[in-house]
A = this chain, B = another copy of it.
Amino acid sequence: MARIITLTTDFGLRDPYQGAMKGAILSINPEAGLIDITHLIAPGNILEGAFVLFESCGFFPRGTIHLGVVDPGVGGERRPILLETEDCIFVGPDNGLFSIAAKGKVRRVIHLTKKEYFRSEVSSTFHGRDIFGPVAAHLSLGADPGVLGEETGSFNEVELPATEKRGGAIYGAVIYIDSFGNLITNISKVDALGLGGVLEAEINGFSISGLKRTYCDVKKGAPVMLIGSSDFLEIAVSSGRASTELKAKVGDKVLLRPLKR
């Protein structure tokens, strides 16, 4: 069975970089099953990359190799690493890119040091092609993570901003805005439902009341609040763009509380 390698980068889609990285993988394992998650992470935005990996990697088969390259510190001090979890393997820079997805599931952390698994020439600016791609390719051929470097105790982490519970309300924030203009918050389904009663959200002076099930449970153009497909509270506008209508951007505060009667 061809082993799956997913790709999540900030390389963009018009440059030769993702092609070169795919070539470097396929020249080691021509049978690798390459699956693009995205190449459009905002340049150098590790937290955005971490969120996208967190939201997608769990749906892949056990044993999938997730190659992630959002790597503003390429060639500098940051280590190349591999994280093995209960479900999958992450390969990329040790800058927190995998830390949200891997949280609580890490079995082994390997500092990638074995140059025999890298491309023969390693540039100082493109480790996706020269280190991470080749390492992922060798993994897809069955290499044990242990042979690729030295086991190490820790790895760097990034965190989604935390919510705060105070006075029977949850104070959260917009953590991601998707292509539909939907606002994904850091308020979890469990926390939201835990408030009980009919809920009301406030964002940028707009208030939205009542948790709905689908985007079309309100009339067209109206804001709607629901639990999104990733079990976070999401604020949308039916047949519209919440980011535009509610003038929202990543980081904007969201207050959720039981509706006052």
Residues of chain A at the chain B interface (Cβ within 8 Å): 1-2, 4, 6, 8, 10-24, 26-27, 30-31, 33-41, 43-44, 51-61, 64, 72-76, 123-126, 129-130, 178-180, 213-217, 226, 228-230, 234, 239
Contacts and interface: CB of A to CB of B under 8 A. Distances in A.
5 contacts: A8-B19, A14-B41, A16-B52, A27-B60, A76-B217
A216 B52 contact: no
Contact of A23 (B15, B59, B125): B59
Nearest to A28: B61
Contacts of A123: 228-229
Contacts of A27: 59-61
Given A16-B37, A16-B38, A125-B214, 13 more contacts: A6-B19, A12-B179, A13-B39, A14-B38, A14-B40, A15-B52, A15-B178, A22-B37, A26-B35, A30-B33, A73-B216, A76-B217, A125-B215
A74 to B, nearest CB: 6
A104 B61 CA distance: 38
Contacts of A38: 13-16, 18-19
